[in-house]
Structure 1
């Protein structure tokens, strides 16, 4: 008898792994794990590579902005397409694009085009970031909307939390291994390895059955986009969650892309240290995700989402002004716990309160918010040149903490969402 057959006979005893009893979700879960590993390595390596090529916080901001433009301009279109076509197919095509992007950067490094000796070569990295943004745009809404179709509404919070826990488990390995590889061998093997990881993600998605029924309509696709805008205006719960998410990602996301400046200039721990910071953040996220996966579904999710914003904001403020390596490591655990709530609870709430025929389009606006948040990161990168990275990241994190406390106290509708 397999492990999953055994746990079927233990109702209520292993709540945290309920979704894994579903064979289709197990394949989906594996595909998402490899995709997340590739994204973690990409997030680690692309920002660090740009900073080492240019030593410019401003150009690091340009890189971030390059990836953000598709999130802003294409997300609603991608969401409308995900409602019209099979989500699995869109995810697979985007996965193949990820493989090609990572391999292209690897080849540019091998040939020597992308190097410090070729000062203008940074444009290629920005172009690849732009294409990566397009891939993410088409993959994101389809993936988010597909989860509930695979496991059902009852297990959606559990499934999202399990996905996050699994992704962050690999985050314990990926960035550290990538950091060691960069310090020992350079960036080339990291990008070729990333291409292989993305290929495994595409492979496992093959075994996930097609889900849901695409919405067949003769309406213009732009009408589909305006239709969902009107729907969100009427559904105030959805609108409130989207505004909360925008604030959380706008004021917290800058740290992720500006972390190389902390490790290179403040803490002076190099690529390996950058990997270790991401490792402990992942460990904190795993702990937070496991707790969320174990909780009863549909209970105080709005309250927990806002509390996550407080934890995330305060942890980032303290980290920003820390110059002691051991303290910085400890504070990143708190950042990870806050991130777990920020990444899990809004998605669960949006999928629960959205009608099936609108889910992918609503999730595409969730993706737009990450594009908007990249302007926050670009703004923070600009401030680095005048205020320094500590005040830039720390100041924005403080705004997040204050806004989260204010929402807890003065917006009962959001606080009381289940």
Structure 2
């Protein structure tokens, strides 16, 4: 099928299957951590803190990670990050199995995972182009990778809800530890050929500055990253309050919380399948604007929902919008950044996405404590709508003159020329 054409590449197929299992374990653990922290503390602020420490390293380390990965063997870096992630998951599983419910310890291990992810996510994204045999299949591989991530977002919380109710948190944490075995096996089975890395005499800090100058000088890419920053700070962190919605607003339990996560994942996977079927010449900017409006309005309507099935419907629509928004930006950057800057460009995408979310999560938790969860989510939806309007007005300042550009993947696609 055309929607799965990137799976014809053996290396990407191995990566896809191994990561699918690992990411389900990751989402099971994420769901279990959120539920455990809120069950023990009843604190929306601490929920924000856990989300903050697990992602904040991406804000500070992603640009460095991009420069580091450009200078080293990406495959080897990926294997190392997966092994360390497995050890971190094992430490967390051991803590919970021993019934050592130490909130500072959970926060510390979440911080460790965040540091690992700053390198791991950037490395996985930048290695994608080497995993696919046909360069024109790269956008499809990116979309399938997003599909895989969002399928895990459905399956992980759904399984976590069942396991949390039947067996307890420790089984979720142990499952995540074991889920790293398939991904390590798949990585070791790969036969991947990487370009020869030329040893640079320049300082990595010089290359960091070059990456920043490249992004700052390209208003096409920088406008997308600024839009993603706004969404990551103001809208996406509404998810932090879903345990509060499940437990306090809808009087539910761990299974109810898993429904919220799975609903968002269901919308995301539907959106990812749509992105996977896109033709190479599809206008990603129009998709981004439409997705941003869907995302903002669904979050806005969620704030008013008093009936659980309706709230889950708006969660599903929020998943549709968020997935298409982030995937369109990711695809645009990967297919337009020049090869020598690809990892660094992706690192700024990771920083704008994963790095800004924890700041927003912390603010969301604090704001919810002050004005309540419903009003906080309402403000998030309004902020997303305003950010979209600002982005559209900014894009109007850019000339719509189209000219062909051969991007970093070797694909000829239309680009936009700035005025003047």
- The question of 1:387 aligning with 2:371 is answered yes
- The question of 1:30 aligning with 2:5 is answered no
1:201 to 183, 194, 209: 183
Kept in 1, the 8 Å contact 2:284–2:328? The answer is: yes
Aligned-residue offset at 1:90: 1.5
Sort the Cα spacing of 1:413 and 1:27 in 2 relative to 1 into closer, same or farther, 3 A.
Answer: farther
Greater mean deviation of Cα atoms: 155-164 or 61-70: 61-70
Q: SS at the partner of 2:242?
A: helix
- Post-superposition CA distance 1:18-60 (Å, at most 9, x none): 1112112111212332332233223212222211121111222
Aligned mates of 1:349, 1:223 — CA distance in 2:
26
Match of 2:348 in 1: 365
2:128 to 147, 150, 154: 147
Match of 1:167 in 2: 149
Aligned mates of 2:82, 2:12 — CA distance in 1:
18
Aligned-residue offset at 1:339: 2.1
Unaligned runs of 5+ in 1: 1-13, 115-120
- Post-superposition CA distance 1:254-283 (Å, at most 9, x none): 122221111111112211111122222222
Unaligned runs of 5+ in 2: 401-413, 416-420
Paired residue total: 399
Aligned-residue offset at 1:238: 1.6
Aligned mates of 2:399, 2:223 — CA distance in 1:
10
Kept in 2, the 8 Å contact 1:153–1:352? The answer is: no
Sort the Cα spacing of 1:406 and 1:149 in 2 relative to 1 into closer, same or farther, 3 A.
Answer: same
Kept in 2, the 8 Å contact 1:79–1:361? The answer is: yes
Please provide the CA RMSD for this pair: 1.9
TM-score between both structures, scaled by the size of structure 1: 0.90
Aligned-residue offset at 1:133: 0.2
Greater mean deviation of Cα atoms: 331-340 or 143-152: 143-152
TM-score between both structures, scaled by the size of structure 2: 0.90
Match of 1:212 in 2: 194
- The question of 1:289 aligning with 2:277 is answered no
Aligned mates of 1:62, 1:51 — CA distance in 2:
11
Q: SS at the partner of 1:298?
A: coil
Aligned mates of 1:165, 1:414 — CA distance in 2:
32
- The question of 1:137 aligning with 2:118 is answered yes
Aligned mates of 1:275, 1:46 — CA distance in 2:
12
Match of 1:84 in 2: 71
Greater mean deviation of Cα atoms: 399-408 or 124-133: 399-408
Aligned-residue offset at 1:65: 2.1
Aligned mates of 1:413, 1:155 — CA distance in 2:
32
Kept in 1, the 8 Å contact 2:240–2:365? The answer is: no
